[in-house]
A = this chain, B = another copy of it.
Amino acid sequence: MPDSTTTPVTSWPAQPPAPLDAAALASIDAWWRAANYLSIGQIYLLGNALLREPLRAEHIKPRLLGHWGTTPGLNFLYAHLNRAILERKLSTLYVTGPGHGGPGMVANAYLDGTYSEIYSDIEQTEAGVQKLFRQFSFPGGIPSHASPELPGSIHEGGELGYALSHAYGAAFDNPDLLVAAVVGDGEAETGPLATSWHSNKFIDPLHDGVVLPILHLNGYKIANPTVLARIPEAELLNLMRGYGHTPHIVSGGFHGEDPMLVHARMAETLDVVLNEISEIKRAAAQANAAGEDFARPLWPMIILRTPKGWTCPAEIDGLPVEGTWRAHQVPLGNARDTEAHTRLLEEWMHSYRPEELFDESGAPAAGITALAPSGPLRMSANPVSNGGLLRRNLDLPDFRDFAVDVPAPGATLGEATRVLGGYLAEVIRLNPDNFRIFGPDETASNRLAPAVYEATDKQWNAEIRPNDMNLARAGRVMEMLSEHQCQGWLEGYLLTGRHGLFNCYEAFIHIVDSMFNQHAKWLKVTADIPWRAPISSLNYLLSSHVWRQDHNGFSHQDPGFIDHVVNKSADVVRVYLPFDANTLLSTYDHCLRSVNYVNVVVAGKQPAPNLLTMEEAVAHCTRGLGIFDWAGTETPGMSPDVVLAAAGDVPTLEVLAAAAILREHLPSLAVRVVNVVDLMRLQSAEDHPHGLSDREFDAIFTPDKPIVFAYHGYPWLIHRLTYKRTGHDNLHVRGYKEIGTTTTPFDMVMLNDLDRYHLVMDVIDRVPGLGARAGLLRQQMQDARLLARQYTRDHGEDAPEVADWAWGQAPEAAAEPPV
């Protein structure tokens, strides 16, 4: 394992411009050839790794997998960055946008020495090379992408689009870090990538690191040219300038051009660019020291135009390959089919002159390893790429200090997220450099404001005008109207050892479904990689939720993110539905302490009854679910007649209102009221670590009594989580339906049959032998619904007795069934 968890410090030194001498360029070229050789070996070879005997078909893998096309470009950049790091001692993270260039990144980490340090069986010997080759995309081996198994990677790059947002996430609050972010020209066509260039309006030259985007135009995707490679250069330069960058082009390697010429060009450009960065950093520091303002800098970026699959055979079977889409994956897919193809592969590999690259033992030649920086300056060993090593626990205030007063259940009203905002403000104050809040322009709407803006500002490095509020060059809140950016930034921030949360409207979090997938998969895999230290959990705060989108309407109603999330590994996902301010505080304190999870918290922002004192809330959240003794009518020690259960703030309110009606009108009915905050408690213990044992589940929900469950989201999720439970056949779930009507909050609840009246009817329909009084009550409930509906039609808002109802009011006053 790498021996240090200290991130090396970059002093952003400028270098006097001086062209590299031939020896220096030759050393870069040697690294490049070695990395290319090792990349091809991983894709093709099972044996004869150093070609010390003639290549035969049986040396070649039977299934040829992996991607060559992007790899020589990635290796080229890695070699050049090594040279610059050696000279400037730049702490550098390498983000591989085209993550399918995995063989190249493995090769570089191997040449760095990091790979053998971490995987001690892959030594720097001929046998080690052999193993390195064999394991690649091989059963029981390593994946083909820049996956968690790869030291130095925070970015798998399997799903394209997030290279720059991950890079910026890594750079925030890492003022001495350079992030070299390679963007493939395929990836550049994705939406998330296209907007992520604008991240440069959010980076602070004083307190953040530097992202150096390198747009690698190799011209082709799987089967097509790329858009950015097929527009005039002037247009491309305009685009980069329009994105706020100073672009620098390095182009070469086409039509057999000598790579040494391209090396010289690249080295020179890299020096120019790094000097520009030094100058920007210096000027910003100077202005700051002088108390002067300074304009947003036009950060440099590099456009590297080289042939796809550079240095592979120009033609195979009469078709052009190098410099075309045919080089994307395995250029010689038939390498062991004919002697001619085998020879062609051998020739190709010999073109890198392996005899110069490895010493007799099979170790990389000394001239090559000399280009590797030492220790954590190696990009494959930069501690930020194993962020858990650097992670410090948050200094958390006591959330109990922010508790709302609850003299009796429902006696006070609270806006849960607004209360949480006060707590988060204090988290910000106590953790000024490793905690951030991300949101797509919804932090205020979700009511974390104004509190958080008393502690910090929104970071904004574009123009600021006099009337603006809470904008500053540096701040803990990051807002851009792109859920992809919020998610990508936060992931990058967490993966490099920090903390944060993403607050979003519930419906629109689906925009990042696939990003969540990829992050959850990353976490799942890292849990089994001993050298990867745990990172902070990815915390969602979803507000403006489905039940409060009655007015924006159908397009804003979607509680399905929870369903999406629970498809992922139970080791990784947690879902919480706190229903009031104190349960939200308790839940979030827990989330901010946790590691390696994705915590989904759905909470309300509208005034709602506070139900539990902080002490009760902590106990309830610790259990994850529990019986509200105070709300039910059961006799201690006896089984209830019916269980009324809820998960979510609006369902909890309706269940309480239903319980109040039942208590009033059917006082002899033994009603148990259950609330579920931690949704995963419902699953079987064998399916989820939070799952209740069947015995506990039966004790709470009963094995045989009707359960009427009011749920925040799609009702079938509750069935899915509980289908193995004893009492499942007695379970009746009400939740959100896809109806789509514009209306008021309570009317929306009624439209979905989740309202107190309907819940009472559900109980009456399911408990046998309730008699005539229950029949009358049922009719009263029907009438109450009709009246409540009519009120909204007449007045455009909910009837006050419904809208203002709170537990503890006499139910007559609150929800009196009109008889």
Give the interface of A toward B (CB within 8 A): 46, 61-63, 65, 100, 137-145, 147, 156, 158-161, 186-187, 189-196, 198, 201, 221-227, 230-231, 235-244, 320, 324, 441-445, 449, 458, 460, 462-465, 467-468, 471, 479-485, 507-508, 510-511, 513-514, 517-518, 520-521, 524-525, 551-556, 558, 560, 563-564, 567-569, 714, 716, 719-720, 723, 728, 738, 740-744, 747, 792-793, 795-797
- Assuming A139-B743, A231-B462, A511-B159, is B190 touching A195 (CB within 8 A)? yes
Q: List, in ascending order, chain B residues with CB within 8 A of A510's CB.
A: 513-514, 517
Q: Dominant SS at the A interface?
A: loop
CB of B239 within 8 A of CB of A242, answer yes
Write 14 A-B pairs (CB below 8 A) sorted by A numbering: A63-B797, A159-B555, A194-B195, A201-B227, A201-B230, A223-B444, A225-B462, A225-B468, A235-B244, A238-B238, A242-B243, A525-B740, A567-B738, A720-B723
In the bound complex, CA of A517 to CA of B723 (Å) = 27
CB of B554 within 8 A of CB of A521, answer yes
Picked from B194, B244, B511, B716, the residue with its CB within 8 Å of the CB of A194 is B194
Interchain nearest-CB distance for A334 vs B (Å)? 15
Q: List, in ascending order, chain B residues with CB within 8 A of A137's CB.
A: 551, 553, 742
Picked from B201, B471, B481, the residue with its CB within 8 Å of the CB of A186 is B481
CB of A226 within 8 A of CB of B481, answer yes
In the bound complex, CA of A186 to CA of B483 (Å) = 12
Picked from B139, B728, B747, the residue with its CB within 8 Å of the CB of A793 is B139
Q: List, in ascending order, chain B residues with CB within 8 A of A458's CB.
A: 224
Picked from B63, B160, B444, B552, the residue with its CB within 8 Å of the CB of A144 is B552
CB of A551 within 8 A of CB of B63, answer yes
Interchain nearest-CB distance for A743 vs B (Å)? 4
Picked from B161, B514, B558, B568, the residue with its CB within 8 Å of the CB of A738 is B568
- Assuming A227-B201, A510-B517, A553-B147, is B241 touching A481 (CB within 8 A)? no
Q: List, in ascending order, chain B residues with CB within 8 A of A140's CB.
A: 741-743, 792-793
Q: List, in ascending order, chain B residues with CB within 8 A of A738's CB.
A: 520-521, 524, 567-569
- Assuming A241-B238, A462-B225, A744-B63, is B467 touching A320 (CB within 8 A)? yes
Closest to A510 in B: B514
Closest to A724 in B: B719
Picked from B62, B444, B525, B728, the residue with its CB within 8 Å of the CB of A795 is B62
Closest to A571 in B: B738
**Given A231-B463, A324-B467, A563-B564, 18 new contacts (CB under 8 A):** A62-B797, A139-B744, A140-B793, A143-B742, A144-B553, A147-B555, A159-B555, A224-B481, A227-B462, A231-B244, A231-B462, A238-B239, A238-B242, A239-B241, A508-B514, A510-B514, A719-B720, A720-B723
Interchain nearest-CB distance for A178 vs B (Å)? 24
Q: List, in ascending order, chain B residues with CB within 8 A of A62's CB.
A: 795-797
Interchain nearest-CB distance for A3 vs B (Å)? 29
Interchain nearest-CB distance for A421 vs B (Å)? 14
Closest to A239 in B: B242
CB of A564 within 8 A of CB of B554, answer no
Picked from B240, B507, B560, B741, the residue with its CB within 8 Å of the CB of A564 is B560
Q: List, in ascending order, chain B residues with CB within 8 A of A194's CB.
A: 191, 194-195, 198
Q: List, in ascending order, chain B residues with CB within 8 A of A147's CB.
A: 553-555
Q: List, in ascending order, chain B residues with CB within 8 A of A186's CB.
A: 441, 481
In the bound complex, CA of A707 to CA of B156 (Å) = 39
CB of B463 within 8 A of CB of A222, answer no
Top 10 A-B residue pairs of the complex, sorted by shortest distance between their CB atoms? A239-B242, A158-B555, A191-B191, A143-B553, A194-B195, A238-B242, A510-B514, A194-B194, A230-B462, A189-B481
Which of A243, A551, A563, A738 has the most chain B CB atoms closer than 10 A to its own CB? A738
- Assuming A191-B482, A225-B471, A564-B563, is B160 touching A555 (CB within 8 A)? no
In the bound complex, CA of A275 to CA of B51 (Å) = 66
Q: List, in ascending order, chain B residues with CB within 8 A of A65's CB.
A: 551
In the bound complex, CA of A510 to CA of B227 (Å) = 23
CB of B223 within 8 A of CB of A445, answer yes
